[in-house]
Every structure is written in structure tokens, then in C-alpha cells.
Amino acid sequence: MPVATSFLATPSRPDSKAIIISYEGKFHRIEVATGETHDIPFTANVDLDVGPDLTASYRIDQGPVRATIIHDPQISPNGGNVVMSVLTKLYVMDTKPGATPKRLTSGDAREFKPVWSPDGRWIAFVTWSMDEGGHIWKVRARGRPGRKAYQDPGFLYRYCIFARMANVSSPCKVTNPWANRLKTNSWFG
């Protein structure tokens, strides 16, 4: 059955034997006991004025774009650098006045939620694409090629946290916002 776009009162009939629901632009009666669905014919003659044309021409600047909003800025452990997501790409820059941001990665995926390792040598971040789903990456803070660190196809990752464990050098703990309920924390090194 298609997903309903709206519901009417339930139960919709005084005898409570059917529910009236609308989807695909039609009304349908669903028998509670059997689940059988019947279309309810409905037509209406409507005379509705269309409002005025509200389109307006405006100029769109051509050339380089100046980003005015950054997402998820994270200061390095030594306080000397900041990593951030700008227009869905990761950039690193010195925290000194007048510093210029440098692209950290070279991929085409949308990059978000960067986090520094405790020693400041690594940056973990999440990517998302409709074709590949979610991925978690670990890349050197100086921008050397990274590696796909963890992947669960179609999963939407939102948070990375570097943590120390015995016998493992700075693994990244991957969490999602529902971790306590779903028990979906994962670790990679």
C-alpha cells in the first residue's frame, strides 16, 4: 500500500468497521477486519483564480564564491589550526590573523563533522552521497591522501570521537545520535 499523505478521523465510520484515508490523490476506505481497500469516488467543481505572476528578474554574480558560513569548526589540540566544513568540503587553516584556508581533501563527496585526533596528526570526518551512502574517513592533518576508515552502506554517520584504547594507537570511535538505543558505536584504528 502506498504511503498515506493525510488521514481523516479514525475510526471514520460510526460502526468502526472502516477507516477513511487519502493517498495518490484519492479517498480510500479500508475495512478494519479484512484490510480490503475500496476507492471512494469524489469529484469537485472548483473555480479558483490564479494569483499574479510573482517572478522577478535578478542578477546572479558570476565568478568565485565567497563563503560566509562555516560548519563544525574544530580547533586543533595545540590551538594552532582549525578544520571546518565550507560549502561541503573540508578546509584547514592557521588560527593566526590573515591566514588562508587550504582544502584538506580532493574528493567529490560532501564532507562534514571533522574532528582532530588527540595528538593533532589526524582528522576524521564523515561523508554522504545519495549513491554510496555514508562513509567515515581518516586523513593526515597536513592533507596527505586519506583512507576510508569505516563504512556501513546507506548509514548516516553524524559524529566521530577519537579515543585511546589499550594496544591501539588513537582509534576513532564512531557514534550516531541514537547509539544508546541502537547500540551502534563502532571502532576503527
Indicate the burial class of 27 (C-beta count within 10 angstroms; 0-12, 13-18, 19 or more).
middle
CB–CB of 86/92 below 8 Å? no
Which residues are CB-contacts of 107 (< 8 A; sequence separation ≥ 6)? 127
Grid cell at residue 10:
479514525
Q: Same domain for 104 and 180?
A: yes
Residue 65 belongs to some domain of the structure: no
Rounded-to-5 percentages of helix, strand, coil across the chain: 0, 40, 55
Separation between Cα atoms, residue 184 and residue 96, nearest integer Å: 39
Residue 181 belongs to some domain of the structure: yes
What mean pLDDT, rounded, does the chain reach? 76
Predicted TM-score of the model (pTM) = 0.56
> Residue 85 is part of which domain span?
71-188
Q: Same domain for 88 and 177?
A: yes
Q: Same domain for 116 and 35?
A: no
Domain total in the chain: 2
Residue 100 belongs to some domain of the structure: yes
Q: Same domain for 176 and 102?
A: yes
For the stretch 28-82, pLDDT in tens is 888 888 889 899 998 888 888 888 888 888 888 888 888 889 999 999 999 999 9
Residue 31 belongs to some domain of the structure: yes
pLDDT band, very low/low/confident/very high, at 93 (cuts 50, 70, 90): very high
Average pLDDT over residues 149-154: 58
Separation between Cα atoms, residue 19 and residue 33, nearest integer Å: 11
Separation between Cα atoms, residue 133 and residue 124, nearest integer Å: 17
Q: Same domain for 108 and 15?
A: no
Residue 95 belongs to some domain of the structure: yes
Residue 80 belongs to some domain of the structure: yes
